[in-house]
Amino acid sequence: MLLSVLYIIGITAEAMTGALSAGRRKMDWFGVMLVASAAAIGGGTVRDIVLGHYPLTWIENPQFLGITCLAGVLTTGLAKWVIKLKGLFIRLDALGLVAFSIIGTKVALDMGLHPSICMVSALLTGVFGGLLRDLICRQTPLVLHQELYASVALVASALYLLLLEFAIDGVTATVVTLIVGYLMRMAAVRFKWRLPSFNLEHEGSLH
């Protein structure tokens, strides 16, 4: 129930950031809805396809697709407000990221998969929406550069698995993971925490 509410907040926030990316590429309304939907539910789609977890969430519940398309189109009219509310969106995006990670972990767990695959499932759910958005809009994928984005998905997933392992009930595990993951992401944004990067410019190539 809590997760459902957070899921809907998460896909709405991601759809709106997707619509802004489409706007920077001067796409038409269809492009806006496509990029909004890819950003919001693309991660879960890739996860379900990779795990063979059919039918996909949004095919069973088409209303989620309706939400992302609507959020995308509304953003074209509200762009100035959305950009002004940048701080709020960073918070919603952080909440959504952790909610997506918990949902991804649960899907793989319910399929009886190995804990490391549950973490990959969290990663696909949390991160691949943004990756698809950036591929369609031909931007260098932000998740490969940004402050601890993927790391938050992995840590949240590991923490959630660990709490369940210690026989903590699901609701408590969800709430604790949400708080820890949210704080970690917000701290990473504020203090510009980053993973070490690997810079190999002007070097010879293997090809």
Q: Can you give the binding site for a second copy, defined by CB under 8 A?
A: 17, 19-20, 22-32, 34, 45, 49-52, 54-56, 59, 62, 65-66, 76, 79, 82-83, 86, 89-90, 93, 113-114, 116-117, 120, 131, 135-136, 138, 140-146, 149-151, 194-201, 203-207
> Considering the complex, what minimum distance in angstroms separates the CB of residue 157 from a second copy?
14
> Considering the complex, what minimum distance in angstroms separates the CB of residue 19 from a second copy?
7
> Considering the complex, what minimum distance in angstroms separates the CB of residue 53 from a second copy?
9
> Considering the complex, what minimum distance in angstroms separates the CB of residue 195 from a second copy?
4
DSSP 147-173: TTHHHHHHHHHHHHHHHHHTT--HHHH
CB of 137 or CB of 174, closer to a second copy = 137
Contacts (Cβ under 8 Å, ≥6 apart) of 29:
73, 76
Helix, coil or strand: residue 68? helix
CA distance 17 to 139: 14
> Considering the complex, what minimum distance in angstroms separates the CB of residue 59 from a second copy?
5
CB of 82 or CB of 156, closer to a second copy = 82
> Considering only CA atoms, which of 69, 61, 63 is closest in space to residue 39?
69
**Helical pair 29-51 and 2-24, crossing angle rounded to 10 deg:** 130
CB of 19 or CB of 159, closer to a second copy = 19
The dihedral built from the CA positions of residue 130, 10, 35 and 86, taken in this order, carries a sign that is negative
CB of 48 or CB of 174, closer to a second copy = 48
> Considering only CA atoms, which of 9, 16, 49, 45 is closest in space to residue 33?
16
CB of 20 or CB of 122, closer to a second copy = 20
